[in-house]
Amino acid sequence: MHRLCDKADQRGGVDVQGQDISGRIATEVLMSEEEKGGEGYVWKVQEETRRFAKDLLSENERLRSLVAGLQRENRDLEGAVSTVRAELDRRRREEDELKRQMAQIREENHSFSEKYLEVETHNSNLANLYVASYRLHATLDRREILSSIQEIIINLIGSEEFGIFELDPEEATLSLAGSMGIDTARYGRIPAGSGKIGETIRRGEIYLAEGKEGPSSTEETPLIACIPLKVEGRVTGVIAIFRLLQHKAGLEAVDREMFDLLATHAAMALYCAGLHTRMVAGVKGGV
């Protein structure tokens, strides 16, 4: 009985020991599986980390390439902008040069127009001087010569208040030979030695006043101009101009040329007319 119990106990002990071994083995297996499972998770995390880092590096490289491309495009654009600016500057310079040339051309055209007008005016003045000279020498009739002188003063000089005087050197007086717009009773015969007229006779030079009217005073007759009529340097009379026409602002250079013409040609025409009159009278007297 005891032996059966011992055997039973032994069997029981074996079973217990077997159970302990089985539990230990199960625990070890479970722990091994858990360790293996932990190692798999870490490996998985590490793998995902490596894959993420790889993707991140790839993305970073892509972004670097993109930035490099953008920088190249930016440099290209800056170069294009610089080229466009240089072209614009060149166009502006060309435009400024064209404007300067156009302004110069306009100025030259204006200058040419002024010179053309001056030439036209000069030609017209020369034509007037020629016509005036021709008319003065076209006749020996005294009245026609005086009429021509008056028309020259009216139409070419621009005055309707003047007197044509002839000098009597023996009596030192001036006799009015022709006039317009003045008092013939007052100026019919005047002294030749006083005022601007007397000064003109003594000096033998043209007198010109400033403005449209000469100096006015109670002692002296106002004069715009006084032209000595000379033959071979000798004064034979004067032309006294007292006032210009209303539309004429003042005397001009061409008026001085006309005065020079009258000083010689009008005097010579009147002198020749006087010689002709005396010669005709002498011939008639001889007959």
140 burial via Cβ count (<10 Å: 0-12, 13-18, 19+): middle
Which residue in 233, 189, 74, 248 sits closest to 225, CA to CA? Answer: 248
Q: Is residue 16's pLDDT more than 50?
A: no
Averaged pLDDT of the chain: 83
66 burial via Cβ count (<10 Å: 0-12, 13-18, 19+): exposed
Least confident among 48-62, 126-140, 155-169, 199-213: 199-213
Residues 6+ apart with CB under 8 A from 85: none
Q: Is residue 217's pLDDT more than 80?
A: no
For the full predicted model, state whether its pTM sits above 0.85: no
158-189 per-position pLDDT tens digit = 999 999 999 988 878 899 999 999 999 999 99
Which pLDDT score is estimated for 46? 87
Query: What are the beta bridge partners of residue 229?
Result: 237
Higher pLDDT, 118 or 268: 268
Which pLDDT score is estimated for 12? 46
Q: Is residue 150's pLDDT more than 50?
A: yes
Least confident among 32-36, 200-204, 229-233, 264-268: 32-36
d(Cα 36, Cα 13) in Å, to the nearest integer? 34
Which pLDDT score is estimated for 24? 58
Which pLDDT score is estimated for 123? 87
- Helix (H) and strand (E) counts in the chain: 6, 6
Q: What whole-number percentage of the chain has pLDDT above 90? A: 45
Q: What whole-number percentage of the chain has pLDDT above 70? A: 82
38-62 per-position pLDDT tens digit = 677 888 888 889 999 899 999 999 9
Which pLDDT score is estimated for 35? 54
pLDDT band at 86; cut points 50, 70, 90: very high
User: Tokens at residue 53, please?
Assistant: 């880092």
Q: Is residue 219's pLDDT more than 80?
A: no
Which pLDDT score is estimated for 11? 47
Higher pLDDT, 200 or 219: 200
